[in-house]
Structure 1
Amino acid sequence: MNREEIKEIPKEQFEPAPIDHEAGERLEKPQLSFMKDAWLRVRKNKAAIVSLIILALIVIMAIIGPHLSGHDGYEQDVAKSNLPPRVPVLENMGIFDGTQKVGGEEVNKYEQMNIEEYYWFGTDSLGRDLFTRVWLGTRVSLYIAVLAAAIDMLVGVIYGLVSGFKGGRTDNVMQRILEVISGIPNLIVVILMLLILKPGIMSITIAMVITGWVGMARVVRGQVLKLKDQEYILASRTLGAKNNRLLFKHLLPNLSGVIIINTMFTIPSAIFFEAFLSFIGIGLQAPSASLGTLIEDGYKTFQFLPHLMIIPCILICVILIVCNLIGDGLRDAFDPKMRD
């Protein structure tokens, strides 16, 4: 570049660029609420997302599953008892083809008994369709899950909020009541309910209503004691905010993460509690179906008919695992220490 070309460069190009103060203060990235920010972090957790999809599929199957096979879950036909699983298309691949070992030899029970129908999960000792009964039992487990979540949300959260917010003598009295209730095991409460009510879902429901919310109440109380003296609470109180507004407009939204996380960890415990009670014979009673009763029926013949126990065991394990993985994902999302 010669000197003549350098002289032709206009002087305006050497002046500093104009500064736009408004553009410098503008936020390019939109502000996110706490819940939206948590959801973005949940989406990064692949295990939690896959678990949500699996749980949604289980809920859908619990609704429509009993109507898919065309067999009634309570209809008995002893002539078709203890049939192995048989599934269309899959039987051509050599799996779920209705074969079963009898006397050390593989025998097709359906051809032997001239049965043209398909029983996807086989039948139990009374000839009832296991596929239909498994999804009927899943409905009971999901009912227990929803019940546990509702009790935690309604009773445990409100009790913990009031106890921690009031403090003083009110808190002492409420905590002594809580200690008395928590000192009574759930199993004892269920047995006491059996003296008044018949064994079934109602006695389990009442037992959970009495004792199922204790853990949530303690967690919420502890968080309220930590938050109620924060500056934003004191500022709202100074501006004349009433107790109801402080509880439900300021404290409760800041407790949402803790509440959701503890609820997700309560659900697997409640499902396992119902299955255990049904397994030992003080939960649901025949002919009602739950995953616990199906496992109890299947373990008696596990050596000869393993599918009667394995199928409900797999389903209840999947439900418990996905609920725990979802809880882990929510815990990581709502915990500020886990931010990227």
Structure 2
Amino acid sequence: MAKEDMKISKDKFAPAILDASLGEAIGKPSLNFWQDSWLRIRKNKAALVSIIVMLLVIILAFVGPLISGHGTNEQDLKRTNLPAKIPVLESVSWLPFDGTMVRNDGTVVDVYEQKNIDEYFWFGTDSLGRDLFTRVAKGIQISLYIAFLAALLDMLIGVTYGAIAGYFGGRLDSMMQRVIEVISGIPNLVVVILMILVFKPGIMSITIALAITGWTTMARVVRAQVLKLKEQEYVLASRTLGNSHSKIIFKHLLPNLAGVIIINTMFTIPNAIFFEAFLSFIGLGLSSPLASLGTLIDDGFKTLRLYPHLMIFPAVFISIIMVCFNMIADGIRDALDPKMRD
């Protein structure tokens, strides 16, 4: 190869033309804290699936009684203890939705044909001939109502109490913490029994019991966070500008605690659902004819060996709700934690 061919052109040694403005260009769209948290939740498949399942359950709870065509307390002794029968699925042999029941001698009987019933009862009926699908949907409504009410009370009482105790500190904080210790030392079951003696078993007694004892954990968490945040520079700047204590607490401190409050609230909801179901199961919860998931499980447990569908369906739904809320709470905790990394 000739030397002339091996020479490199002087144009290739020319300095590169650099645009300084490109160094500060933003390659991705700017996201705020909540948008970034939502992206983290979307990457959490378990939390995303749980959100979708819970939305479907909530839709079922409110739309179910409207599409079933039966009332919650509508009784008909001609259709007592019917097994589940669902259109289309009744033709699938390996699914228990064909309206048949196995007797003690091992024979399979079509109960619908035996009782001359042409209707479909998706979850079957109970001992009084009431549609179990409608009652399960209504039970989900009541259980979710009690759970969200408990979460609301946690936020209103616990957050306010903990923020005041942590912000002012000193003797006031010490006195308020002693009150929390006294309330925490009283078992929830004792409070519920006292409420039942004053009121009647029902939503009112459970609500008051949760209002008395359920907010203490939230108050302690918020107090600990406020003790840490109240020494920050932006709080000192707000005091210097002459802002009132209430404005500093509710405008500067609590918005920075939104993540902690949301996480604790999400964990409160499944605990409240389980607490209500436990009380109803032992006979201290809702009374007839009201139906919650706990009362339905209690009724089905009494005839579990004869009519298992009476317990299986409400037990499945309360399990789904408990698991979904816990998975959502875990996902929100990971999304709102600034220490987490993708």
Report the TM-score when normalising by structure 2: 0.94
Q: Matches of residues 10-159 of structure 1 in structure 2 within 5 Å?
A: 11=11, 14-94=13-93, 95=95, 96-104=97-105, 105-159=107-161
Match of 2:279 among 264, 277, 281: 277
Q: How does 1:233-312 map to 2 (within 5 A)?
A: 233-312=235-314
C-alpha deviation, 1:27, in angstroms: 2.8
How far is 1:77 from its partner? 1.1
> Paired residue for 1:176?
178
- CA shift, 1:187, in A, is 1.1
Displacement of 1:246 in angstroms is 2.2
Between the aligned partners of 2:115 and 2:337, the Cα distance in structure 1 is 60
Deviation, structure 1 residue 15: 2.6
CA change 1:128–1:7 in 2 (3 A) is same
3-state SS, counterpart of residue 102 of structure 2: strand
Alignment partner of 2:209 out of 204, 207, 215: 207
Q: Give distance in 2, aligned partners of 1:239 and 1:15.
A: 58
* Counterpart amino acid of residue 230 in structure 2: K
In structure 1, the partner of 2:187 is: 185
Q: For the Cα contact (< 8 Å) 1:333–1:339, is it kept in 2?
A: no
Classify the secondary structure of the residue corresponding to 1:336: coil
CA distance in 2, matches of 1:226, 1:133: 48
Segments of 5+ residues of structure 2 without an aligned counterpart are none
In the TM superposition, residue 236 of structure 1 has moved relative to its aligned partner by 3.1
CA distance in structure 2 between the partners assigned to 1:293 and 1:51 by the alignment: 25
Shift of 1:308: 0.5
Q: Give me the whole-angstrom Cα distance separating, in 2, the residues matched to 1:107 and 1:338.
A: 57
Describe the superposition over 1:137-187 as per-residue Cα deviations: whole angstroms up to 9, x where unpaired.
000111012112211221111111111001011111111111111111111
| 1:8 CA drift (Å) | 11
Structure 1 unaligned spans of 5+: none
Give 1:211 shift: 1.3
Between the two proteins, the alignment pairs up a number of residues equal to 339
1:124, distance to aligned residue in structure 2 (A): 0.4
What is the CA distance between 1:2 and its match in structure 2? Answer: 6.7
Tell whether 2:219 aligns with 1:217. yes
Q: Does 1:325 align with 2:324?
A: no
Per-residue CA deviation, residues 51-76 of structure 1 (Å, 9 max, x unaligned), is: 00000001111110111111112011
Could you report, residue by residue, the CA deviation over 1:32-91 in whole angstroms, capped at 9, with x for unpaired residues?
Answer: 211111111111100000000000001111110111111112011112111111111111
The residue type paired with residue 28 of structure 1 is: G
How large is the Cα RMSD of the aligned pairs? Answer: 1.8
1:10 positional shift: 6.7
CA contact (8 A) 1:145 1:268 kept: yes
SS at match of 1:313: helix
Deviation of 1:265 (Å): 0.8
Kindly indicate whether the alpha-carbon contact (under 8 Å) linking 1:152 and 1:212 is maintained by their aligned counterparts in 2: yes
Asked if 1 retains the 8 angstrom alpha-carbon contact of 2:64 and 2:137, the reply is yes
User: Residues 295 and 308 of structure 1 are in contact (CA less than 8 Å); yes or no, is this contact kept in structure 2?
Assistant: yes
Q: Residue by residue, what CA displacement relative to the aligned partner does 1:243-287 show, whole Å, maximum 9, x if unpaired?
A: 233222321122111111111111111000001111111111111
* TM-score (norm. length: structure 1): 0.94
